[in-house]
Amino acid sequence: MLRRIIRPARRLPIWLLLSVAAPFVFEVILHLWRYNVPRPASELDTPFFTSCQEPDVSAKRENAILVMLARNHELEKANKTITSIERQFNKWFNYPILFLNDNQWDPKFIEVLNKTSRGLATFEVIPQEIWTFPEGVDANAAKQNIKEQGEMGIPHAGEEGYHHMCRFYSGKFYQLEVLKKYKWYWRLEPDVDFNCAISYDPFVQMARHKKVYGFTIALWEIGKSCPGLFRSVADWKEMMGIPTNNLWKAMVSASWVPFPFRRFMSWLPHRDAYGDEWSLCHYWSNFEIADMDFFRTRAYQDLFDYLDKKGGFYFERWGDAAVHSLAVAMLVDPRKVHHFEDFGYRHDHLYQCPANAPGGQLPESQLLGSGTWSPEMDNGIGCRCECDGRVTSNYGGYCLNKLKQPTTIKRPWFTWLL
């Protein structure tokens, strides 16, 4: 009987495998290099001041207003915020305050907040035609989808009013008749603490340094709330022929999958048509100091109308923070975005707390008055911060560092862990 001889399969030579893989590896390296964010030779977004300033109560003010969206049942929380910002800022600078509500105001709310804000407040009701489903969106289908989103456990996604709020702040807010005469706004929320004295006028400094958008905290968006948002924004960007700047690159995590297989990744959430992914990092918009003229531009309003027609404010839960952030990253020079790292700020369980500047607390200032504050520390920049700057400087250090990359010099990798 003849035996069948089984020979082992021949292996491809290693040089052949490498020669086949090399073009793909090279293409991936080239692709990642295109999304590299070069670091500048010097810091391009430094604090406006790094210690207390004597409040200049006689200086010219900017055309600006403080704005809070609140409901009647949030009286106590709204009063807490206004008490805090009055004590730490507005008692010296006296900017007007606008309260917005989608329902008629309770006279008690107006009485209490008028007193706390020293008569600087006005109270407006948002027009019903703005606080509703837009034309082209099936309201019944949207309501059913909102119910299902809530059942999926997506935060706030089961609340119809929250969807209206996100759409409102994403676009219609900037067209309100009551705001048309103002250029700058400072967005406030109920139940906010300002933990440091703000002894200079941030509106004046934003204008002086040609800034457009200011924030305190950057963090990850909840991914399941907006799986289609980035693709829609990226499609609009390509359709309009908008060039990619370094801030947009900082928002994106370039795909490691080689071309042409990379395009198959575009079917996944948070990917553009080429398979590259939004990191979900964004500016937390419950604190914003910004130039409303940017949000009133034809480009931004066209982007909002494009997103509005997509229906994602209702059939997903597209948040205004994510919309603002992607728009700023796409349309604004990174040098025009400012991080207010000297502001002590808390909302919910997230907060920013700078350490106090050594020798910079002006204890003899009559306007700043007396009081107690946390210890001063080397490299501190805060003014009379009452929170403990030794605990942490910000929430979500990864996102903060990613979004500040275009304006921040290169530092040793381990410093980002501190």
- Interatomic CA distance for residues 34 and 29, integer angstroms: 9
- In whole angstroms, give the CA distance from residue 408 to residue 43: 5
CA dist 342 to 186, 212, 355, Å?
Answer: 16, 18, 8
Q: What are phi and psi of 285, to 5 degrees?
A: -80, 0
CA distance 64 to 61: 8
Q: Which amino acid is at 355?
A: A
H or E element: which one contains 288? strand 288-291
Least Cα distance to 286 among 131, 101, 70 occurs for 70
- Write out the two tokens for 250: 């900082």
Query: 184 has which bridge partners?
Result: 64, 291
Residues in the chain: 418
Closest CA to 344 of 304, 385, 398, 395: 385
Q: Are strands 288-291 and 121-125 parallel, antiparallel or unpaired?
A: unpaired
**Is 288 among the residues known to form the active site?**
yes
Among 62, 277, 288, 341, which one carries the catalytic annotation? 288
Say if CB 184 and CB 65 are below 8 A apart.
yes
**C-alpha 204 chain-centroid distance:** 21
Q: Name the token pair of 375.
A: 């210890």
Neighbours of 38 (CB within 10 A): 10
Q: Which two tokens stand for residue 176?
A: 């309100």
DSSP three-state, residue 397: helix
Alpha-carbon distance 59 to 55, whole Å? 9
Q: Following CA atoms 247, 405, 184, 96 in sequence, which dihedral angle do they give, to the nearest 10 degrees?
A: 140
- Give dist(CA 283, CA 320) in Å, integer: 10
Active-site residue list: 288
